[in-house]
Amino acid sequence: MKLAAVLALAALAAAAPLASGPSSRVAWTVETVRLVRGGDAAKGKKLHEDCSGCHGPAGDVDTPDIPNLAGQNALYIYKQLQDYKSASRSSPIMGEAVAALSDRDMADLAAFYTAQRPSRSPGAPRRSDPAAVKIASVGDGTRLIPACDACHGDRGAGNQNFYGMPSLQNQKFDDLSVQLLTFRSGERANDVYRGMRDVAKSLTDGEIAGLAAYYSGTRAKPIVRPEEPGKTEKK
Ligand code: HEC
Ligand code: HEC
């Protein structure tokens, strides 16, 4: 092989991991877990004053596509804030909101949110759509979809044994469906080892609506695709 070709290949190989980018810069080292678990909720409350315009006085708000934060897993919140800052999870709004936050600020904010009482009734999601309940609790072996609850905990209530695992309860239909749609399209790609992208890739629109309804404890409605705002698809 000619030297130029070898160099070009080497350059490609070196560029490849950068081009695709790491899904997240957060690794659950002992130090990171200790930092987050030692977060100061009182300091977080003060920092939250800059966020409350969108996220409400205690982390929850009625706006359909703004996620609820009250009671959410602290490691998950910390990771999302880091991912927005490093642009591993892209959101112009949140990227700007976190730009000046330090690691400790993020740990303090996470401690504040996780200590807040969720605004929505906890648990007991409706068991209306049997297909969604089946995927949530058993999965679908024919499509290699594991049960959602195997990772997210019984009825999506969270899983402390799994670092950074979000609770799916206390979330709104629209936010849940948007997150599943963006994992499916790959637009949201901050899930380590593609965990959620692989799960979401074979879900149909109807299943996404059913799962979002199941975990939000509401009735399924047509989902709005984030890439085509305003357009809806029937279940
Ligand atoms: C201008 C409105 C706005 C402000 C200000 C704002 N946020 Fe957000 N936040 C959003 C929106 C919209 C999203 C959803 C973005 C997406 O889809 O990734 C979000 C997402 C998040 C998430 C991810 C939640 C999840 O379930 O994945 C966290 C955590 C968060 N915000 C915390 C904060 C903190 C902390 C601040 C203040 C430093 C803040 N936000 C300021 C609008 C805002
Ligand atoms: C292999 C474990 C695993 C399985 C199975 C799994 N998830 Fe997840 N899920 C995760 C992890 C880890 C995250 C957090 C990704 C990150 O760090 O941003 C996540 C994130 C999510 C989010 C985003 C939460 C938020 O607040 O933004 C939703 C929604 C979700 N999962 C729904 C589901 C549904 C529905 C299923 C079943 C079809 C499922 N998950 C199956 C591990 C899993």
pTM score, whole prediction: 0.90
What is the best residue among 172, 196, 202 to mutate for testing ligand 2's pocket, by most ligand atoms within 8 Å of CB? 196
Q: What letter would DSSP give residue 48?
A: G
Structural domain 130-233, CATH architecture: Orthogonal Bundle (1.10)
CATH topology of domain 27-115: Cytochrome Bc1 Complex; Chain D, domain 2 (1.10.760)
Write down the domain spans for the chain. 27-115, 130-233
Per-residue pLDDT of the chain (235 residues; tens, 9 = 90+): 454 544 444 444 433 334 456 789 999 999 999 999 999 999 999 999 999 999 999 999 989 889 999 999 999 999 999 999 999 999 999 999 999 999 999 999 999 999 999 987 555 556 668 999 999 999 999 999 999 999 999 999 999 999 999 999 999 999 999 999 999 999 999 999 999 999 999 999 999 999 999 999 888 788 876 654 444 443 3
- Nearest Cα residue to 107 out of 82, 71, 72, 70: 82
The answer to whether the 27-115 and 130-233 domains have the same CATH topology is: yes
Burial class (CB in 10 A: 0-12, 13-18, 19+), 12: exposed
User: What are the structure tokens assigned to 152, written together?
Assistant: 């997210």
What is the best residue among 78, 81, 151 to mutate for testing ligand 2's pocket, by most ligand atoms within 8 Å of CB? 151
